[in-house]
Amino acid sequence: MTTVVLMGPPGAGKGTHAELLAGRLGVPVISTGDIFRAQVAAKTDLGRTAQRYLDAGEYVPDEITNAMVRERLAAEDTRPGFLLDGYPRTLDQVAVLDDLLATQGRSLDAVVALRVDEEALVRRLLRRAEIEHRSDDTEDVIRRRLQVYGDQTVPLISLYSDRGVLHNVDGNGEIAEVRERLLQVAGALTPAG
């Protein structure tokens, strides 16, 4: 069983690399961003609520995000483990995840943190906005999202470092370069067969 959190600021490449990393580990990807966007597209109540926060560059409130993740981690396909992309993002979410894992008799094996220079992030996200027409990727919203990440999520990096499960990965450079760095970490996390 392998349980991994993939962290990084908006635009760091979590979505680009999550499937590859999860595939190497043999676990499903659970992306809160994908779940939010699916809810928005389906025009559910959750989607309408989430959209207001996403458009402002803010985090969706913990109680909504926690409930969604709790439900998803109860699914059968997560028994062999999972890779969380975009969760936890706050210290309160860490506490909820810790409790959830303890209830399931699991622990977190690793936190992989992608590190990318801020201006590179802004360029990536503006490029993505042009391609995907995402309402949450204007320059003002991008800079706000990076500020929120710095205020609310960066403290998790120290916490997970103190727990001895943090793996920092340089997310600067071309996709193939970052992929190689991530695969080295995945190799260290995969039990010898």
- The residues carrying an active-site annotation are 14, 89, 128, 134, 145
Written as one letter, the residue type at 102 is A
Helices and strands: H and E segment counts in the chain: 9, 5
Determine phi and psi for 111, rounding to 5 degrees: -120, 120
Q: Measured at the alpha carbon of residue 62, what is the angle toward residues 127 and 121, in degrees to the nearest 5?
A: 20
CA 59 centroid distance within chain: 12
Report yes or no: 101 and 110 within 8 Å, Cβ to Cβ.
Answer: no
